[in-house]
Amino acid sequence: MMKILLILIATACCLSAEISSDVVDKDKTLTKIAFGACNKPSRKKVTRIYDGVLKHNPDVFVFLGDNIYGDTEDMELLKKRYQQLAAAKGYQKLQKQTQVLATWDDHDYGVNDGAKDYPKREQSQQVFLDFFAEPEDSVRRTRPGIHTSYSFGKDGKKVQIILLDTRYFRDKLEYSKTKNKPSKTKNKPSKGKVGWYEPTKDTSMTLLGDAQWQWLEQQLQVKADVRIIASSIQMLAYEKGMENWGNVPHEQQRLFEMLKKHKANHTVVISGDVHYTELSKVMIGDYPLYDMTSSGMTHCSKNWANADNSLRVGKSHWEINAGLIEIDWAKKSLSLCSINQDGKKLIEHPVAFSELEFSK
């Protein structure tokens, strides 16, 4: 009898335990979230984009990956390249004036277009976490991969930021049969396509891996008034053959279905990687999912910016840029933006919270 009672109490406790983000800071309300990607600290222009960002006084800045160009299996060299970022005056100013969050992409992970077969992924994770001063007791130090989540603010003004890891668990993508491998097609788009991957039909292929998928499904059930999913690679734009979620369509679909299943209202995506900025939108039933891509804190590509993207909203820009989400809590709306080195807006797309709701 006593045993049954204990089981019932334990079950009740489990059911009532609210799922939370990995890090919770109820005292900080966010109205401006800045982000950026593709940052080569050795480039001379490195400080200017930070000036543009800091003009907007963001509450947090999210590094979306390719935060440095490591591209090595030598961990001492990787650490040295992180030190170039530490030495950049703009980065130092950013750190002083706002909170920095980060995930990685291929170049800081350690290898161009890298996947789970990169042999130094465990060591690289430690170098990354040490550089970004991840606390010793952080959950990120206890599991493979650097995915994590944050909740800021109190009920009614709660922002959740989910940082995905699109490298540690990912299978190798399929090369396009009609195009050559990257080294032969680099910077030479043809008919609006850059190169070199195509969507797979192999549904055993994964982008996030089982453990991260289970964690993500939990995270999508965390209460949030605005939810931002940060993916190093583009989630929506799929036609140009670069790395993106569209190369693993069943995983992209899985995420869309998950958002729908949990009615993850007020969710937007941010991404980097491609060396230009653009906004993309796809309808999941009646829900408009936006992906605000900002890439090129130090270098951009006009060719890539001109590649096909039928989901693009407005124009692409190949000026050096950072991203910005502004939230107007009084009006219940947010604005998806990208800015240049002067802080001037290149893209500004306001969306009311009421538009970002799953009806069924």
Rounded least distance, CB 175 to Fe ion, Å:
17
108 near Fe ion, judged by CB under 5 A: no
- The counts of H helices and E strands in the chain are 10, 14
Which of 59, 106, 134, 278 forms a contact with Fe ion (CB under 5 A)? Answer: 106
Whether the CB-CB separation of 309 and 278 falls below 8 Å is answered with yes
Whose Cβ is closer to Fe ion: residue 134's or residue 273's?
Answer: 273
Whose Cβ is closer to Fe ion: residue 151's or residue 234's?
Answer: 234
Rounded least distance, CB 296 to Fe ion, Å:
11
Q: Return d(Cα 112, Cα 172) in angstroms, integer.
A: 12
Q: Which residues of 212-242 are buried (b: 16+ CB within 10 A; e: fewer)?
A: bbebbeebbebebbbbbbbbbbbbbbbbbbb
Strand 333-339 to strand 322-328: parallel, antiparallel, or no bridges (unpaired)?
antiparallel
- In this chain, which stretch among 28-36, 58-66, 154-162, 335-343 interacts with Fe ion, using CB under 5 A? 58-66
Structure tokens at 251: 């995983």
Q: Which residues have CB under 8 Å from 58's CB, separation 6+? A: 32, 33, 34, 98, 324
The DSSP symbol for 244 reads: B
105 near Fe ion, judged by CB under 5 A: yes
Rounded least distance, CB 23 to Fe ion, Å:
25
Whose Cβ is closer to Fe ion: residue 198's or residue 273's?
Answer: 273
Q: How many CB atoms lie within 10 A of CB 196?
A: 22
Q: Return d(Cα 18, Cα 23) in angstroms, integer.
A: 14
The DSSP symbol for 152 reads: E
Whether the CB-CB separation of 356 and 268 falls below 8 Å is answered with yes
Whether the CB-CB separation of 70 and 108 falls below 8 Å is answered with yes
- In this chain, which stretch among 104-112, 119-127, 195-203, 312-320 interacts with Fe ion, using CB under 5 A? 104-112
- In this chain, which stretch among 219-227, 270-278, 317-325, 327-335 interacts with Fe ion, using CB under 5 A? 270-278
Per-residue contact track with Fe ion, 230 to 269, x per CB under 5 A? ----------------------------------------
Rounded least distance, CB 107 to Fe ion, Å:
6
165 near Fe ion, judged by CB under 5 A: no
- In this chain, which stretch among 12-20, 101-109, 298-306, 329-337 interacts with Fe ion, using CB under 5 A? 101-109
Percentages (nearest 5) of helix, strand, coil residues in the chain: 30, 25, 50
278 near Fe ion, judged by CB under 5 A: no
Whose Cβ is closer to Fe ion: residue 91's or residue 104's?
Answer: 104
66 near Fe ion, judged by CB under 5 A: yes
Structure tokens at 322: 């950072």
Whose Cβ is closer to Fe ion: residue 104's or residue 287's?
Answer: 104
Whose Cβ is closer to Fe ion: residue 106's or residue 198's?
Answer: 106
Structure tokens at 334: 């947010």
Q: Which residues have CB under 8 Å from 218's CB, separation 6+? A: 19
Q: Which residues have CB under 8 Å from 108's CB, separation 6+? A: 65, 66, 67, 68, 69, 70, 128
Q: Return d(Cα 79, Cα 1) in angstroms, integer.
A: 59
- In this chain, which stretch among 54-62, 100-108, 187-195, 275-283 interacts with Fe ion, using CB under 5 A? 100-108
Largest CA distance in the chain: 73
Whose Cβ is closer to Fe ion: residue 32's or residue 193's?
Answer: 193
Rounded least distance, CB 195 to Fe ion, Å:
14
Whose Cβ is closer to Fe ion: residue 167's or residue 266's?
Answer: 167
Whose Cβ is closer to Fe ion: residue 46's or residue 68's?
Answer: 68
Which of 59, 273, 319, 326 forms a contact with Fe ion (CB under 5 A)? Answer: 273
Whose Cβ is closer to Fe ion: residue 259's or residue 320's?
Answer: 320
- In this chain, which stretch among 106-114, 118-126, 133-141, 255-263 interacts with Fe ion, using CB under 5 A? 106-114
Rounded least distance, CB 122 to Fe ion, Å:
20
Binding residues for Fe ion, per CB under 5 A?
Answer: 66, 105-106, 273
